Amino acid sequence: MALAVARSRMHTVDAAGLRIGDDHPPRIMGVLNVSKESPYSPSVFDDPDEAAAYVESELVAEGADIVDVGLESANKRLDVLDETAELERLDTAIETIERVDDDADVVFSIETRYASVADAALEEGFDMVNDVCGFADPEMPEVCEKHDAAVVKMASPPDLERPGAIADVDDIYDALARNGFTEKTILDPAFGGWSEAKTLADDRETFERLREFRGYGRPLLVSINRKNFLRDIADRSTEEALPVSLAATSMAVERGAHVVRTHDVAETRDAALVGHTFARERHRDRAVEELDVTTAREAERHVARLGGDVAAATDAVARAYEVRPPSDMRQTLVDAASDTDVVCTGDETLFVAGTTTELEAFADRITSASKALAGIAGEIRASVE
């Protein structure tokens, strides 16, 4: 069974020893396809020895942390493969990873929509799953939990034949939560031409709203390499689109993406590190975590996750925090917030937001109210100084 929506701080996901989350560098997912229909020919192989050599020399050597193996093309004009056909192609994928040098420090991911294919892959040496249908197969979460495997969950309708086909950007957030999460779920808001209804403007809006998808407290994956919505900006062909992809990669990581899926590993790694290095440093402590909030809608997502009053998010775009007070001190914080015009709402964990001046007054008030809250007050003061 999938777990309920998280109501705690940003998860760190352990993918076969690879830590993915806010406290770790951006991770690069290189792509290998064993599908002859896949449009990017340099990554397509049907011979396991050639595929393994590509993984070692072109992906791992250039800095890939994860290798995502695709069994079929995402081209919406092609028929979807059934489970049997994917399982037949899985043999090539398994033989490939068996031939990769044992010294290659990389996590292997299988891209599939079927729980049975994921189960077989994880049994035979794969480490994680990239589910392009977002748990449309209801057994997928159970399979991943059984193997203690990380899983990328892409925003998708509950339909195994329509991956990523979310026509309205406003529906992406809810689609990501459908059928819940496992403890090791990574979220992908789905960029690209997965459906006829999705436009380039939709992809650009999704990118602009990327921070919003952090609202579930789960790591984010983006797959934007050479995508049409970026090529269109600069009027570039696929072959000429690397520069716009790299610019967007830095921006995506600065906005909170944790994994970047790409065919251009070395270049994307460098761009991701630039975005990571120049992202604003946010205060994180056991009891106080500063949130990456820049709009009211982003604030609303966090407030809803923490069980608070969503209406309060309207005024919560200055500095925002998750605060975990002792249970008997919660009301003290709520009262102090009311006296200092700070937003304070939530269940066990509180969403706290305000201007620098308001938060300093709030910290002073809770310090004078209780010595037990001095630590929280100190963390808030440290973050606003």
Cα 150 to the center of its chain, rounded Å: 12
Residue 75 has pLDDT above 70, yes or no: no
State the pLDDT at residue 78: 62
All domains in the chain, ordered by first residue: 13-278 (3.20.20.20), 317-384 (3.30.1370)
Backbone angles phi, psi at 172, to 5 degrees: -65, -45
State the pLDDT at residue 4: 40
Tell which residue, 359, 351, 348, has the closest CA to residue 383: 359
Confidence label for 7 from pLDDT (cuts 50, 70 and 90): very low
Q: Which residues is 261 bridged to in the sheet?
A: 29
CA–CA separation, 129 and 102 (whole Å): 20
Q: Each residue of 47-62: pLDDT tens digit?
A: 899 999 999 999 999 9
Residue 3 has pLDDT above 50, yes or no: no
User: For 174-223, what is the HEC assignment?
Assistant: HHHHCCCECCCEEEECCCCCCCCCCCHHHHHHHHHCHHHHHHHCCCEEEC
> Sheet of 150-154: strands edge to edge?
185-188, 150-154, 128-131, 107-112, 66-70, 27-33, 259-262, 221-222
Q: Each residue of 215-231: pLDDT tens digit?
A: 999 999 999 999 999 99
Q: Give me the sign of the Cα torsion angle 238, 241, 242, 244.
A: negative
State the pLDDT at residue 1: 40
State the pLDDT at residue 2: 42
> What are the C-alpha distances in Å from 44 to residues 50, 113, 207, 259?
10, 19, 28, 22
Q: Each residue of 297-324: pLDDT tens digit?
A: 999 999 999 999 999 888 777 799 999 9
User: For the chain, what is the HEC assignment?
Assistant: CCECCCCCCCCCEEECCEEECCCCCCEEEEEEECCCCCCCHHHECCCHHHHHHHHHHHHHCCCCCEEEEECCCCCCCCCCCCHHHHHHHHHHHHHHHHHCCCCCCCEEEEEECCHHHHHHHHHCCCCEEEECCCCCCCCHHHHHHHCCCEEEEECCCCCCCCCCCCCCHHHHHHHHHCCCECCCEEEECCCCCCCCCCCHHHHHHHHHCHHHHHHHCCCEEECCCCCHHHHHHHCCCCCCCHHHHHHHHHHHHHCCCCEEEECCHHHHHHHHHHHHHHCCCCCECCCEEECCCCCHHHHHHHHHHCCCCHHHHHHCCCEEEEECCCHHHHHHHHHHHHHHCCEEEECCCEEEEECHHHHHHHHHHHHHHCHHHHHHHHHHHHHHC
Tell which residue, 164, 361, 207, has the closest CA to residue 381: 361
Mean pLDDT across the chain: 92
State the pLDDT at residue 64: 98
Confidence label for 34 from pLDDT (cuts 50, 70 and 90): confident
Confidence label for 190 from pLDDT (cuts 50, 70 and 90): very high
Q: Each residue of 369-383: pLDDT tens digit?
A: 999 999 999 999 999
State the pLDDT at residue 57: 94
The residue-averaged pLDDT of 138-148 equals: 98
Q: Percentage of residues in the chain with pLDDT exceeding 90? A: 81
Q: Each residue of 106-141: pLDDT tens digit?
A: 999 999 999 999 999 999 999 999 999 999 999 999
The residue-averaged pLDDT of 185-203 equals: 88
Q: Residue 203 class from Cβ within 10 Å (0-12 exposed, 13-18 middle, 19+ buried)? A: buried
State the pLDDT at residue 77: 62
CA–CA separation, 361 and 365 (whole Å): 6
Q: Give me the sign of the Cα torsion angle 107, 108, 110, 116.
A: negative
What are the structure tokens assigned to 20, written together? 């993915």
Residue 385 has pLDDT above 90, yes or no: no
CA–CA separation, 245 and 270 (whole Å): 12
Tracing tokens 């460098």 back to the chain, one arrives at 270
> What are the C-alpha distances in Å from 354 to residues 75, 94, 308, 318, 382?
46, 52, 16, 6, 15
State the pLDDT at residue 114: 97
State the pLDDT at residue 165: 87
Confidence label for 6 from pLDDT (cuts 50, 70 and 90): very low
Residue 37 has pLDDT above 70, yes or no: no
More confidently predicted of 147 and 79: 147
The residue-averaged pLDDT of 21-33 equals: 96
Q: Name the pTM for this structure.
A: 0.93
State the pLDDT at residue 197: 76
State the pLDDT at residue 123: 98
Q: Each residue of 252-269: pLDDT tens digit?
A: 999 999 999 999 999 999
Tell which residue, 278, 279, 282, 320, has the closest CA to residue 298: 320
Residue 5 has pLDDT above 80, yes or no: no
> What are the C-alpha distances in Å from 375 to residues 153, 349, 367?
37, 16, 8
